[in-house]
């Protein structure tokens, strides 16, 4: 799709380990348009972070991308970049903190402890923009104010440890956004925050999307947060996208048994006494990837003789709503008739 800001196709990521080559992500494809928020959801270990980091080539030295994997960054007015083909460190700098910024669950990870928050913001602007030192300082203070940090000029000269958790999160967002990235990757950015601050940070991110027209890849294990935040959602399990669609489609009419399981595990506001039903069993280790559909070992609707044998392709259920599940393949539907 040519109007996508970032286009990921058949992304397969493996890691060399002492136990051998493990597959963390397999044949993952998605697009994100400018101004769009895509939620990537799934349990711990499903490959969300590894997928996100690949967009900036931040996975470790032991990473192997399969040759057919493609990540295309298509900034309007610029030549499209094949991210996985970049070889020089210099080319990577244009992406990291330039076209793409990332914020993490633990904001301390983004700040060097012995350098003031303001200095770090200025340094990043000097690398990625043509601003002068004085202009970079002015913009940094303005961004701190923009994310709701009181007394931004005083805070500018403080260290990250002098900030409260919520304020540090805001400062990290201010730093990530000051270079006006085209894509913000937010990896569980609200998980460590209490609910009120979490809601504020989500509102702030939505405001900034509207103001700057940037796109966001929002990673979380919580479908409830996705419902409040994203336009579209991709549900990931053991390295594969099992369902994708608009938030409305996926949350109102979840099709994949895994998506339904994630929704059943959420507390229902209209029936707080209802029992939560977590998905039984644990996510298998990537060293023991199940054959066929990767979810078949935990699936309440697994079709013996089918699901363990073949990887399901995608079935289109509605405009932009796709599911990878044998329940929806022609053969199974015919068998059910
Ligand atoms: N450098 C690495 N070497 C070997 N295995 C790795 C490496 N990085 C990640 N993995 C493995 O890849 C799999 C996917 O990890 P990833 O962190 O992407 O999951 P996640 O869905 O983001 O989970 P979480 O919510 O816990 O961050 C995990 O099994 C993890 O152990």
pLDDT given at position 1: 47
Expressed in angstroms and rounded, the spacing between residue 212 Cα and the centre of ligand 1 is: 31
Pocket perturbation via mutation, ligand 1, pick of 50, 55, 186 by most ligand atoms within 8 A of CB: 50
Listed as ranges, residues in the chain with pLDDT below 50 are 1
287 HSE (CA, 13 A, CB side): 5
Asked whether the beta carbons of 262 and 283 are under 8 A apart, the reply is no
Six-digit token string for 294: 């990767």
Residue 239 CB less than 6 A away from ligand 1: no
pLDDT given at position 327: 93
List, for residues 151-176, the tens digit of each pLDDT value.
Answer: 999 999 999 999 988 888 889 888 98
Expressed in angstroms and rounded, the spacing between residue 239 Cα and the centre of ligand 1 is: 9
Distance CA 183, CA 1 (A): 17
pLDDT given at position 73: 94
Its ipTM equals: 0.96
Residue 46 CB less than 6 A away from ligand 1: yes
Q: Radius of gyration (Cα) for the chain, nearest Å?
A: 21
Distance CA 263, CA 265 (A): 5
């Amino acid at each position: 799709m040519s109007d996508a800001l970032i286009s990921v196709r058949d992304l397969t990521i493996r890691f060399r380990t002492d136990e051998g080559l493990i597959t963390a992500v397999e044949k993952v494809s998605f697009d994100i348009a400018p101004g769009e928020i895509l939620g990537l959801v799934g349990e711990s270990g499903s490959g969300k972070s590894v997928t996100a980091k690949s967009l900036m080539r931040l996975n470790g030295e032991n990473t192997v991308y399969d040759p057919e994997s493609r990540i295309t960054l298509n900034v309007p007015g610029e030549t499209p970049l094949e991210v996985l083909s970049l070889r020089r460190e210099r080319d990577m700098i244009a992406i990291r903190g330039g076209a793409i910024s990332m914020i993490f669950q633990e904001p301390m990870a983004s700040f060097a402890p012995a350098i003031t928050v303001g200095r770090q913001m200025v340094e990043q602007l000097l690398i990625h923009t043509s601003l002068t030192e004085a202009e970079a300082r002015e913009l940094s203070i303005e961004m701190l104010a923009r994310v709701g940090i009181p007394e931004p000029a005083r805070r500018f000269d403080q260290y990250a440890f002098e900030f409260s958790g919520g304020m540090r999160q805001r400062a990290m967002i201010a730093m990530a956004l000051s270079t006006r990235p085209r894509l913000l990757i937010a990896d569980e950015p609200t998980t460590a925050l209490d609910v009120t601050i979490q809601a504020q940070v989500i509102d702030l991110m939505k405001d900034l999307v509207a103001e700057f027209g940037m796109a966001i890849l929002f990673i979380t294990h919580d479908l409830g947060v996705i419902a409040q935040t994203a336009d579209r959602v991709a549900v990931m399990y053991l390295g594969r996208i099992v369902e994708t669609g608009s938030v409305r489609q996926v949350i109102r009419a979840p099709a994949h048994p895994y998506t339904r399981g994630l929704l059943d595990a959420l507390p229902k506001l209209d029936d707080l006494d209802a029992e939560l039903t977590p998905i039984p069993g644990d996510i298998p280790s990537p060293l023991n990837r199940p054959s066929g559909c990767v979810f078949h070992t935990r699936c309440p609707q697994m079709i013996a003789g089918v699901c363990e044998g073949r990887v399901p392709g995608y079935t289109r259920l509605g405009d932009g709503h796709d599911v990878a599940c044998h329940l929806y393949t022609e053969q199974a539907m015919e068998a059910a008739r």
